[in-house]
Amino acid sequence: MTFETDIYSIIYNEINQNLVETIHSVLSENFQRIMDFWNIKKLNSHVNIHIYPTLDEWITFFEDTGQKYADYVIGCADGSEIHLLAYDEYKKTNMHKNDSLEDFQKVIIHEFVHVCNNQICPPNSFIMCEGLATYLANQKYNENIKIDYPKDDIFNFNTFCTLTNDTYSFAHKIVTILAKTASKEKLIEYACDYEKLYNDWEKYNWQLT
């Protein structure tokens, strides 16, 4: 079944019909704000939002993309396609078993941020890509996470992944600190060219909490 607007379509199974209004409500309230952040007047492609009705179907989809399934992954975006695990099913995961419906709605905004990011520039940095998505979706992460590591360790992705087991909180805090002083245009510039953030790194106070 499909629910359509001019901007997006929600593709769902009958058992997930109750989620359609939840998704439509949060997107209709936020999509213009997200597009305005990226200076997007019109999306290049219609956005298709696919809801997976069971955890098993979600795992199969995810592994069919060639990626290894992880318990924390309950949504992803590929170009203008958004894929979401149904709320009742994602509460079966250890990571998200205590999540509220509002948390689910923030995942939807998060993935829409990725769609806009994908249109402006190919994601070239986990930190800016996920940091902006979590920041613009107002998702809550560990604000006390340590981030003042050597710059070269942070900018080497393999090394970065060994610095913390909470990479999303790390990225969220980086963007939160950047947003205190950097303009929106500068944030977009860093998202499109990670080397520019590397060159500007010493301008920012990474001791902030």
In the chain, how many domains are there?
2
Whole-number pLDDT of residue 206: 77
The residue-averaged pLDDT of 121-128 equals 87
CATH number at residue 21: 3.40.30.160
Bridge partners of residue 123, in order along the sequence: none
Q: Which domain holds residue 106?
A: 1-120
Q: pLDDT tens digits for 82-99? A: 999 999 998 999 889 999
The residue-averaged pLDDT of 47-57 equals 96
Q: Are residues 128 and 201 in the same domain?
A: yes
CA-based nearest residue to 184, from 33, 50, 15: 33
Q: Are residues 37 and 48 in the same domain?
A: yes
Least confident residue range of 76-80, 169-173, 204-208: 204-208
Whole-number pLDDT of residue 209: 43
Whole-number pLDDT of residue 70: 86
CA distance 132 to 49: 20
- Domain end marker among 101, 120, 139: 120
0.75 cut: is pTM over it? yes
Give the model's confidence band at 122: pLDDT under 50 very low, under 70 low, under 90 confident, else very high: confident
